[in-house]
Structure 1
Amino acid sequence: MKNILITGGTSGVGYASAKQLITDDTHLIIVGRNEAKGAHAVRTLGDANVSFIAADLGTNQGITYLADVVKQRFTKLDGVILAAGAVTNDVRENRQINFRTHYDLVMALKPMLTRSRILLVTGNPKAIQLLPINEQQNSPIARAGWVLTHKTLLMIYLSELLRDEQIIVNSFFPGEVKSNLMPYTQTLVNTEVPVVKYLMNDSDLAHVTGTFFDDKGKKIVLNSNKYNFERAKAIVTNVIQ
């Protein structure tokens, strides 16, 4: 039985990803803050192969609690989808909720992740290619740009950091998916993320790490002058400190 953990799994991209991964030999661990949403997700996805853990990943206590519960209930994780996120109002919230949470959770679960796959949900490839990498976060648009570029750097950093443990780390654009994240995403009609099944399970990707994929499963070649390990290491280390 495979065990796959999905943060932000009660709605939006996280829930859409969960729908793609339901099989008889896969157990999904859905993580979210809302107990009622969690119970609804378990019922609709199928009680037998789905469990829910309530945790606020925007806090250090929430991350520690989640890691402790997962370690108590399971001996190994075969996959992690980092889909949790939020529109934030300031720099501290943005760094904590949309960046630091992902890093801290992976580090807390690292002993359970050998030979697993980690997928980091990110944004439109064109935006990631074109946006500059800087620390400016003085507007909602600047904060959104910061998240896209820094998540890409985080993916590159973790892929190298965890390579010796044979932990695959990639990022992907799920497409435009209906969610409660922003007003415009609430008007979208798409609720499917078929690419996640390919990225999580396909044998051809068993050794592919540090790669950004679009919503069709196509590899996006990043500008190596902008996105490289040395730059990723410097920036990620600065943010997490």
Structure 2
Amino acid sequence: MSGKLAGKAVLITGASQGIGAATARVFAGYGARVAIADVNEEGGRETAAQIEKDGGEALFVRADVTVGADVEAAVAATVAAYGRLDAAVNNAGVEEQGSALHEVTEDAWDKLVAVNLKGVWLSMKYEIRQMLAQGGGTIANMASVAGLVGLPLGISDYSATKGGVVAMTRTAAIEYVRQNIRVNAVCPGVVRTALLDAAIEGGMFTEAEAAALHPSGVLMDPEDVAETFAFLCSDESKHITGQSIAIDAGMSAG
């Protein structure tokens, strides 16, 4: 087996589609053994099946990241199958169509916080427990450029959850660096996914307007984000921790 993630046991949440599925495929291509956790059983199993068809090693575990017992079981299933947990990508998340802050409902707020923030916290909680027991590991969290800068898109609640992930990542990195656990976050700009398609169909913006949010004027593909996750979970980034890396074609630079 060859590749910068060769033999590593990795848990990826929210890997039934989009960036998560692309990340699972990229990791497997680099030699990782991948556990896919998602509430979408059909999509999750399809991702795992595709990896195995391509010669990789993968398993699917149904897990709702807002439920601690589910996350704990997903970590346990990964360890049962692969013997350890070398790296985790906490990608599971939800978005919204865009509402002014005073129009955001409590239900919308609670859902975003439960999945995007509590879900990352629960994932880290059980991943770190395992990594402490085995002597180290690497965690990469999905944040967003919206957690780094303000954007006039009616996403104050979404931005709050992603800003929380950025802050939690930074603090966790300091807490566990001496236990050989690295924690980083990835902050994408606008990526071509089904969620973007839904936002366009919902009238949030046109594809041209979405691309124009980037100074480059070009949208990104899920694989672009996946490659950054792979770098952060490999030994190539062994001295990088506590960072929130923007993949946004300069969107946060202005």
- Tell me the TM-score range normalised by the shorter chain: 0.7 to 0.9
Q: Would you say the 8 A contact 1:3–1:77 is kept in 2? A: yes
Matched, 1:164 2:178: yes
Give 1:157 shift: 1.5
The alignment's C-alpha RMSD in Å is 3.0
Aligned to 1:184: 199
Q: 1:20 to 1:175 in 2, by over 3 A?
A: farther
Q: Would you say the 8 A contact 2:34–2:58 is kept in 1? A: yes
- Cα deviation per residue 1:81-140 (whole Å; 9 max; x = unaligned)? 01001136433322221111111222122232243111111112xx434349xxxxxx96
Equivalent residues in 2 for 1:191-210, closer than 5 Å: 191-193=222-224, 194-203=227-236, 205-210=237-242
Give the letter aligned to residue 147 of structure 2.
Answer: I
More moved, 177-186 vs 48-57: 177-186
- Of the three residues 4, 8, 13, the one matched with 1:7 is 13
Q: 1:111 to 1:149 in 2, by over 3 A?
A: closer
More moved, 189-198 vs 4-13: 189-198
Aligned-partner SS, 1:192: helix
Q: 1:58 to 1:24 in 2, by over 3 A?
A: same
- Of the three residues 64, 68, 73, the one matched with 1:65 is 73
Contiguous gaps of at least 5 residues in structure 2? 1-6, 97-106, 202-206, 208-218
Q: Would you say the 8 A contact 1:122–1:151 is kept in 2? A: yes
Q: Would you say the 8 A contact 2:186–2:246 is kept in 1? A: yes
Aligned to 2:141: 120
Give 1:58 shift: 2.2
Equivalent residues in 2 for 1:130-141, closer than 5 Å: 130-131=149-150, 141=155
- Cα deviation per residue 1:1-43 (whole Å; 9 max; x = unaligned)? 2101100011111111122212474201111112221221112
Matches of 1:34 and 1:181 in 2, distance apart?
A: 15
Aligned to 2:121: 103
Q: Would you say the 8 A contact 2:65–2:119 is kept in 1? A: yes
Q: 1:217 to 1:67 in 2, by over 3 A?
A: farther
Q: 1:25 to 1:79 in 2, by over 3 A?
A: same
Aligned-partner SS, 1:177: coil
Matches of 2:31 and 2:195 in 1, distance apart?
A: 31
Matches of 2:71 and 2:180 in 1, distance apart?
A: 23
Q: Would you say the 8 A contact 2:12–2:34 is kept in 1? A: yes
Matches of 1:145 and 1:175 in 2, distance apart?
A: 12
Matches of 1:180 and 1:155 in 2, distance apart?
A: 26
Matched, 1:43 2:49: yes
Matches of 1:34 and 1:78 in 2, distance apart?
A: 24
Count of residues in Structure 1 that have an aligned counterpart in Structure 2: 211
More moved, 187-196 vs 20-29: 187-196
Q: 1:9 to 1:129 in 2, by over 3 A?
A: closer
Aligned-partner SS, 1:51: strand
Matched, 1:29 2:29: no
Q: Would you say the 8 A contact 1:118–1:170 is kept in 2? A: yes
Percent identity between matched residues is 18
Matches of 1:189 and 1:25 in 2, distance apart?
A: 24
Matches of 1:53 and 1:128 in 2, distance apart?
A: 29
Q: 1:175 to 1:197 in 2, by over 3 A?
A: farther
Q: Would you say the 8 A contact 2:147–2:187 is kept in 1? A: no
Matches of 2:191 and 2:34 in 1, distance apart?
A: 20
Contiguous gaps of at least 5 residues in structure 1? 133-138, 222-241
